[in-house]
Amino acid sequence: MSENSFLQVTGRRRPKGRMLLTGMLAAVALTAVAVAPSAASAAVIPAKQTAKPTVVLVHGAFADASSWNKVIPRLQRAGYPVIAPANPLRDLNGDSAYVSSVLSTIPGPVILVGHSYGGEVISNAAVGHPNVKALVYIAAFVPDEGESGLDLTGKYPGSLLPTSLITREFPLPGGGTGTDAYVDAAKFRAAFAADLPAGDAALMAATQRPASLAALGTPSGAPAWKTLPSWYLVAGSDKAIPAAAERFMAKRAKAHTTEIKGASHVVMISHPDATADLITAAARATS
């Protein structure tokens, strides 16, 4: 019925709001019919791809999580979720328990990565976590049960750390004092970051997080690398952990090993591509 006919019969105009609503509902119904997939078309929609493992990056002593800043974007661009928690650097047992608690919050598979002292932490934190599929060591300690970072540093000559550390006491929560170790700023670049620009090394020296001597000297528990596949990146000119010690630990752990000649202890900063490549290789091999 036209608007004029409606007016002649009823003596009043059709409500415009109702006309508009009726037209909109009709249009929605027609659109739904047009776009609804048939059973045949729905059947060919591909299943959701399996999610990639989460990469958990654990920094070492005299550093913080920003030491992974060049590696993280490369992993994220490749589609990997990344978490880089703050390693407390207070004592090995407590630090490992903290990282273990982070692993407990991740429902899917994990590639666990540690640099330097972080290697000790991941070796202990991964125990009891079946979702950890691989361990990746970046110029890191890979202790056997009963070994400490200090033991492994002195196993081969070449470390400059013993003559580069300064100590400061700090109060313990339960009373008494602990002792923190720092790398002397004047010696930081030579001992820790020789292949970085002087300005970058100076910034790292100023912002370094100390490690307690208790953490560095605590013996490891039974390590996860004995039951998990491992990868290792050897820094060929490391003056913190001697490269010879790194090769020894990598071989003992039967790790898939890559070495970068001339790399300093912070190889993940000076060679982020190689670091990310090793991590993704571990992920691909265990996914």
More confident residue, 254 or 5: 254
What is the rounded average pLDDT for all residues in the chain?
Answer: 87
Inter-residue contact 79 to 52 (CB < 8 Å): yes
Amino acid at 47: A
The mean pLDDT value for 198-213 works out to 97
The mean pLDDT value for 87-103 works out to 97
User: Is a pLDDT exceeding 50 seen at residue 129?
Assistant: yes
pLDDT digits over 219-232, tens only?
A: 999 999 999 999 99
DSSP 8-state class, residue 229: -
Percent of the chain with pLDDT over 70: 83
pLDDT digits over 130-153, tens only?
A: 999 999 999 999 999 999 999 999
More confident residue, 269 or 3: 269
| C-alpha–C-alpha distance, residues 245 and 115, integer Å | 14
Helical pair 117-125 and 92-103, crossing angle rounded to 10 deg: 60
Among 30, 40, 75, residue whose Cα is nearest residue 57 = 75
pLDDT digits over 11-57, tens only?
A: 444 444 433 333 433 333 333 333 333 333 333 323 334 589 999 99
| C-alpha–C-alpha distance, residues 59 and 66, integer Å | 9
User: Is a pLDDT exceeding 60 seen at residue 8?
Assistant: no
In 104-209, alpha helices (H):
117-125, 149-153, 188-192, 198-207
The mean pLDDT value for 228-251 works out to 98
The dihedral through the CA atoms of 203, 56, 161, 214 has a sign that is: positive
- Judge if pTM exceeds 0.75: yes
User: Is a pLDDT exceeding 50 seen at residue 200?
Assistant: yes
More confident residue, 51 or 202: 202
Angle (nearest 5°) at CA 106 between 226 and 84: 80
